[in-house]
């Protein structure tokens, strides 16, 4: 079993760290809100640290799942950052969805210190984290990934190296691009059915078994029809991710017309007060546009 630090105990990080503890690893956690770290320790054991550096000291692996580029820089760098507490030959694994730019910066800084670095964003949402069934897209050198893979495997359904540093983040961008279009299409289909006077549940029972079927349809159609949007990934975070996708697309010259459009639709949802609603709330925007009848 390994000595592991886990930085960030949000809806994803807390259950991921919990799986590590349940598997027998020695886990030290850090969270910006210390009460969350204390509550995690009360539930899972292990210990909490006051800073990322303190959490990382003596750890073989340091895992992070924080909010955005700035949050990741904050837990990695500086006098109290994790890198300052990590020894040569240790491995840092970043599960945050961040830009390719910050990944390049931090992986380079880690390399200069003799620290291995794997960018490993996840997909599967809160349920995937709680059930230990995440899809993990990884970038980094082969040897470092091979060392980290068994640790990540504790909470992964599939974990795969897709290239050198940054490849994991680029793959996560593909994931978010694909999801954006699927959710908008599902929202339009369900709202069309409502306006046409059809029984949405009966229709989905049929079409979900054909080419229209998707994870989003299987897991979100009922709550979408009921107007319940407190499940999973929030609109605010999706807009953060889509912004990363659109910036990267500009950099490499890849057109993303649908993604750009759906990003603006999510902006409309934010303006409706739905920033903390889950991403399936695109249907609420359609209802608002046509009067909700």
Q: How does residue 128 score in pLDDT terms, banded at 50, 70 and 90? A: very high
46 torsion bin: left (phi>0), alpha (psi -120 to 50), beta (else): left
Is the pLDDT at 145 greater than 70? The verdict is yes
Domain 3-163 has CATH 3.30.1480.10: no
Is 47 an annotated catalytic residue?
A: no
Number of residues in the chain: 293
So what's the pLDDT on residue 280?
97
Domain with CATH 1.10.1040.10 in the chain: 170-289
Task: State mean pLDDT over 33-60.
Answer: 98
Cα–Cα distances (Å) from 43 to 18, 68, 83, 194, in that order, read: 9, 27, 27, 44
pLDDT at 57: 98
- If you average pLDDT over residues 155-174, what whole number do you get? 97
Q: Which fold has domain 170-289?
A: 1.10.1040
Condensed to tens digits (0 to 9), the pLDDT of residues 236-281 reads: 999 999 999 999 999 999 999 999 999 999 999 999 999 999 999 9
Q: Where in the chain do CATH 3.40.50.720 domains reside?
A: 3-163
Mean pLDDT of 128-136: 97
pLDDT in tens, 90-108: 999 999 999 989 999 999 9
The pLDDT of residue 200 is: 96
Q: What is the pTM of this model?
A: 0.93
Residue-level pLDDT at 290: 86
CA dihedral in degrees (131, 136, 141, 142; nearest 10)?
A: 70
Q: What value does the mean pLDDT of the chain take?
A: 96
The reported pLDDT for the residue numbered 293 is 61
Question: What is the structure's pLDDT at 53?
Answer: 98
C-alpha distances (whole Å) from 91 to each of 72, 82, 115, 264 are 15, 11, 6, 38
Q: Give me the catalytic one of 36, 172, 195, 240.
A: 172
What stretches of 15-171 adopt beta strand conformation (E)?
A: 26-30, 47-48, 61-64, 91-94, 116-119, 122-123, 134-138, 156-161
pLDDT at 117 exceeding the cut of 70: yes
Mean pLDDT of 35-52: 98
């Amino acid at each position: 079993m390994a000595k592991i630090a886990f930085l960030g105990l949000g809806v994803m990080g807390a259950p991921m760290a919990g799986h590590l503890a349940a598997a027998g690893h020695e886990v030290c956690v850090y969270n910006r809100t210390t009460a969350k770290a204390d509550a995690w320790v009360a539930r899972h054991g292990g210990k909490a640290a006051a800073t990322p550096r303190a959490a990382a000291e003596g750890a073989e692996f340091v895992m992070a799942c924080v909010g955005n580029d700035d949050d990741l820089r904050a837990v990695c760098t500086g006098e109290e950052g994790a890198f300052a507490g990590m020894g040569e030959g240790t491995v840092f694994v970043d599960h945050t969805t961040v830009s390719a730019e910050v990944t390049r910066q931090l992986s380079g800084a880690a390399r200069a210190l003799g620290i291995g670095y794997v960018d490993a964003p996840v997909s599967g949402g809160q349920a995937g984290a709680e059930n230990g069934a995440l899809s993990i897209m990884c970038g980094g050198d082969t040897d470092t990934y091979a060392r980290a893979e068994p640790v990540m495997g504790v909470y992964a359904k599939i974990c795969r190296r897709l290239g050198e540093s940054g490849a994991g983040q680029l793959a996560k961008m593909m994931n978010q691009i694909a999801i954006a279009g699927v959710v908008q299409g599902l929202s339009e289909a369900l709202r069309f059915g409502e306006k046409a006077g059809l029984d949405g549940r009966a229709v989905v029972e049929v079409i979900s078994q054909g080419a229209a079927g998707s994870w989003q349809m299987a897991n979100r159609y009922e709550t979408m029809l009921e107007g319940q949007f407190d499940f999973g990934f929030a609109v605010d975070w999706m807009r953060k991710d889509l912004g990363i996708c659109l910036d990267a697309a500009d950099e490499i010259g890849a057109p993303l017309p649908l993604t750009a459009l759906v990003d603006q639709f999510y902006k409309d949802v934010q303006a409706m007060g739905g920033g903390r609603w889950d991403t399936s709330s695109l249907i609420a925007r359609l209802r608002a546009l046509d009067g909700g009848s």
